Structure 1
Amino acid sequence: MPGPAPIALHLEKISRRFGGRTVLSDISLTLPAGRISCLLGESGCGKSTLLRIISGVDRPDGGNILMNGNEIVGPNRFVEPESRRIGFMFQDYALFPHLSVAENLAFGLRALSKADQLRRVREIADRIGILHLLDRFPYSLSGGEQQRVALARALAPEPAILLMDEPFSNLDQGLRERVRKETVDILRKLGMTAIIVTHDPQEALAVGDMIVLMRRGQIEQTGSPFDIYDRPISSYAAEFMGPCNRLAGIWSGGSVETPIGRFPALLSLPEGSLVLACIRPQALSIGPDGEGISARIVGKTFMGESEQIDISVHPLAEPLRMHSHERVPMAVGEKVSLLLNGAQVHVFPEPIPASTIDPAADGKLD
């Protein structure tokens, strides 16, 4: 079996403040070489600031950065951006409108002879599949073509690391998925170390070998897509990666007791502790009559490949949400039997939000 990937980048206690506001707080992170890592989080969490610090466009207020084992940022050292061998692809692509595609690609190759510039431009254009665009100007290109040109320009100087800030957000949904797949395929074929900033958890799950989930200037969790989605360490991580039904529970005998069932969890808590259970919508399904929990359908939303079902269960104040890839024939208002898959239940020793129990429930589903 192959060993672990070598380290491309190591960050130690990186901090950044703007005025009196802390944007990054003691960020420590190790990113593998030859892999795609995603910095994921909501707007304002610090992910783009961290990307700028890695690139050298911005300086941290504290901390160290090692690139391939060599210090590029530290208390007494700052390597300028042009000396870091780090490529940067901007969200808006930042193509020079007065230059042809070939001239855009050659812009970062000015240290080479004209002959070597031409050779490298044609080489990278061929790898990205844009040889036919070299004489065109940015205004005449589609969004997908502009994205590929921006990618080729960032790769032309042969960077050791490629940074990409929301690279697919300007594309329409259908085009976004196609261009994203093409881009990821290119990066993997090149063995490129890439860091992609995104606010979209589905995008991070689709492209990242490693996901760094950020929250309020700190790292909430790091791991593979499966780690982050299947084994979230907090309710924030669980809910950010996908919708959840939130239920109050009581820790008892190695399991959590909720109003709709008992679920095991790998926790060590005092008996009787209040906990929070996050139940994925796909953990719920409708079973044969007489099996599972008595419930009632209170809402249905057709979403194409799936159907969203809102289900009322005594004694919960709010309906549970279920996702089904099979057509549910029952109509709104009908009684059903609800089944639960405990594998999609995540339990956290966190404060319980507003009560999930309906105080007016009379003990019957009418």
Structure 2
Amino acid sequence: MSKLVLQNIHIEYGSNAVVHDVNLTVEDGQIGCLLGPSGCGKTTLLRAIAGFEPVTRGTITLKDQVISAPDVHLPPEKRNIGMVFQDYALFPHLSIADNITFGIRKQAGKDKARRVAELLELVNLPGYEKRYPHELSGGQQQRIALARALAPQPRLLLLDEPFGSQDVELREMLAREVRDILKREGMTAILVTHDQHEAFAMADEIGVLQSGRLQQWDTGYNLYHKPVNQFVAGFIGQGALITGTVLNHDTVSTLLGAIKGEVPLECQPDCPVDVLIRPDDLKLVADAPRKAKVVSRVFRGAEYLYVLGLADNSQILALAPSHQEYALGETVCFELDMQHLIILRRR
């Protein structure tokens, strides 16, 4: 398999820069993800890796071969990169076997049949050779699209919003299934998505993009618990930022009182900061010094998500079991679990 390295990638359309100096590495057999809102540059980066977009600056290297640079552009068909799309792109008039072997038509018949059988076994659809796409569910079609992309044994696999047409529960299930398949194959891959749950379920490392800039390339755990800035903190998971001022190396003064946490090294006393409070950092209790008013609530089956209003009209979120019910406008008491609070220097 193949290590992918992007160094200082900058992409412009005319005078409009859409990707700014992106650096990342996906190791052999690892699954990376480009995550961000619409228009952040993630699909442009994917197209550049595939060879459909030229780079203005920087280099893209695959298995120690420069495939893109301002003066180098290996054509897409010579990169040996597989792609899986949201709409599957299966040929409706071809059988499943013929769809899978479309990219390996020059191989001998016995070799193709053996490869089809291997791939159908890999994607848990053995015996589907003679069926047609319309006979399969959406999830099954997605797995066939994956099998077709893997058939030529590509150096790298790119997945562009592959689960976007599925409902939420099926998307996460498919993401886990596809991850398992890619890991069994030892395939290096890049996923593009706007859905953090897909990213968490599938990727080893995730890059959060905003306005063409890579904000953080890290594990899902670190993105959630150690975001580098306010954008990543707000985009990953749920939570609210409240303002504060540094008192000392591990204490911040806020509307909720003194909060303990890991103060950024560059922050001296009186430095303005933001404190990220996740819903799971709050516990609603019968009595406590900290109080807030219920502004709204969302029923989620096993739990309620409460929006709580503070004295300065800012809001925080809290989770509580669904049998622990509070009315709109009711004043509630809460405790803070300070083990995971995140303190960020205000920009």
TM-score tier, shorter chain, comes to over 0.9
Residue matched to 1:320: 316
Would you say 1:335 and 2:319 are equivalent positions? no
Q: CA deviation at 1:303?
A: 1.2
Alignment of 1:1-366 (within 5 A): 8-254=3-249, 255-263=251-259, 264-267=261-264, 268-289=266-287, 291-313=288-310, 315-325=311-321, 327-351=323-347
**In 1, Cα distance between the equivalents of 2:269 and 2:173?**
51
Structure 1 segments, 4+ long, off by >6 Å, are none
Gaps of 5+ in 1: 1-5, 352-366
**In 1, Cα distance between the equivalents of 2:274 and 2:267?**
13
Counterpart of 2:327, as a letter, is A
Q: CA deviation at 1:326?
A: 5.7
Q: Aligned pair in 2 of structure 1 residues 199, 102: CA closer, same or farther (>3 Å)?
A: same
Counterpart of 1:243, as a letter, is Q
**In 2, Cα distance between the equivalents of 1:28 and 1:219?**
8
Q: Aligned pair in 2 of structure 1 residues 292, 111: CA closer, same or farther (>3 Å)?
A: farther
Counterpart of 2:73, as a letter, is F
Provide TM-score, normalisation by structure 1: 0.88
After superposition, the C-alpha distances for 1:122-176 in whole angstroms (9 at most, x for unaligned) are 2212221223322122233221121011000000111121110011111122322
Q: CA deviation at 1:343?
A: 2.6
Over the aligned positions, Cα root-mean-square deviation in angstroms equals 1.9
Counterpart of 1:310, as a letter, is V
Counterpart of 2:300, as a letter, is M
Counterpart of 1:100, as a letter, is S
**In 2, Cα distance between the equivalents of 1:158 and 1:292?**
61
**In 1, Cα distance between the equivalents of 2:277 and 2:167?**
31
Paired residue secondary structure (2:127):
helix
Q: CA deviation at 1:216?
A: 0.7
Query: Contact conserved, 2:55 with 2:70, CA < 8 A, in 1?
Result: no
Q: CA deviation at 1:48?
A: 0.8
Paired residue secondary structure (1:119):
helix
Q: CA deviation at 1:281?
A: 1.5
Provide TM-score, normalisation by structure 2: 0.93
Query: Contact conserved, 1:229 with 1:238, CA < 8 A, in 2?
Result: yes
Q: Percent identity?
A: 37
**In 2, Cα distance between the equivalents of 1:27 and 1:191?**
25
**In 1, Cα distance between the equivalents of 2:279 and 2:226?**
16
> Please, which moves more after superposition, 256-265 or 329-338?
329-338
Query: Contact conserved, 1:7 with 1:30, CA < 8 A, in 2?
Result: no
Q: CA deviation at 1:7?
A: 6.9
**In 1, Cα distance between the equivalents of 2:307 and 2:11?**
44
Q: CA deviation at 1:21?
A: 1.7
Counterpart of 1:104, as a letter, is N
After superposition, the C-alpha distances for 1:295-331 in whole angstroms (9 at most, x for unaligned) are 3334332111321123333x22134221224632443
Gaps of 5+ in 2: none
After superposition, the C-alpha distances for 1:22-60 in whole angstroms (9 at most, x for unaligned) are 111111111111111111111111111111111112221
**In 2, Cα distance between the equivalents of 1:214 and 1:333?**
38
